[in-house]
Amino acid sequence: MRALTVVVMLGFGWQCYHLARRVDFGELLARLGSPSVWPWFVLVLAMMPLNWWLEARKWQLLLRPFLAWPFAKTLRATMVGVSLSAATPNRIGEIGGRMLMGSREEAGSILTSSLLGSAAQWVAFLLLAWPALMWTAGDLLADRIPFPVALLWPLGPGVLLLLWFGGKPLLVKIIRWVSRRFSWNNAPLLEGIREVKFGLMMRAGAYACLRFCVYCMQLHILLGCFGLELPLLEGMAGIAAIYLVQAGIPLPPGLNLVTRTELGLLLWNTEPGAGIATVLAFGSLFAINVLLPALPAYWLLVRKKNLR
């Protein structure tokens, strides 16, 4: 995996170098220095707390059947999860960071509710990003499949129903197996899972959909700031499709960012300026939404360790 990371990063760096040689950086800097651009950057920054507030609200809904944490504690645990997610594949470190903010007895509840939160995120992917992918790649698929692309559109909601009716029993079986393997009392967890009804998952999915829209809008604004102005609906659909494709690839965080950027280059790179705008927008969004909130989250983590 380390060798793969080095090779991909070197290839990506080589591609960026060739793009940079063909870009008029004077024009780019003049655009970034324009007074009309900076309010949009400020708006993207202001949307970052909203992004994580929505994530914390979503998780609190799913944590409530297991633990009666106040929202302030849920938000702190969410932010500590961000600090560890910046250095783990597909940000699975979020779960570990959240568990650090709880007690040993609460670990199982935090783990289970976080897994349910990840499942709720796929509500957004399958309800919003799947149709966006079909719209974005419909012409490409039409020449490669022997049936109309329209038949694929209901696949996202269909998979959601399948996961609901099949995923919950599977989760119960996993918990029972782990309990037998490690002599772990699973009664509180199983009782909490019984309280996780379809309506609760849909409410959590609504928060996930709102957060996904905020995330996509942030990137759409950044693309425009760096010089790639896309129509609102087409641009948002392309962004959502990119995140859906990348979400299915478990890679280290650096390669996740590279994968999203490469998909953006493939979709929008009509000229060098558009390519550089894509690279800068994805990199800036990662810095704003992950690296920037990770800084105070590290402080929370160190403070809790010192208090112990």
Amino acid identity, residue 63?
Answer: L
Distance CA 145, CA 217 (A): 32
pLDDT at 236: 95
pLDDT at 307: 46
**Residue 50 · residue 215 · CB < 8 Å:** no
Domain boundaries along the sequence of the chain? 37-307
Helices (H), 143-231: 155-182, 187-194, 198-225
- Token pair recorded at residue 253: 């965080």
pLDDT at 301: 65
pLDDT at 249: 72
- Furthest CA-CA distance within the chain: 65
Q: Enter the pTM of the model.
A: 0.84
pLDDT at 305: 54
Distance CA 59, CA 78 (A): 8
- Token pair recorded at residue 54: 């929505």
pLDDT at 1: 62
pLDDT at 246: 84
pLDDT at 270: 63
pLDDT at 239: 94
DSSP state of 143: T
pLDDT at 29: 72
pLDDT at 90: 52
**Residue 67 · residue 109 · CB < 8 Å:** yes
Distance CA 255, CA 9 (A): 8
Residues of the chain where predicted confidence (pLDDT) is lower than 70: 1-2, 4-5, 7-8, 12, 15, 17-23, 86-92, 185, 188, 250-254, 270, 297, 300-308
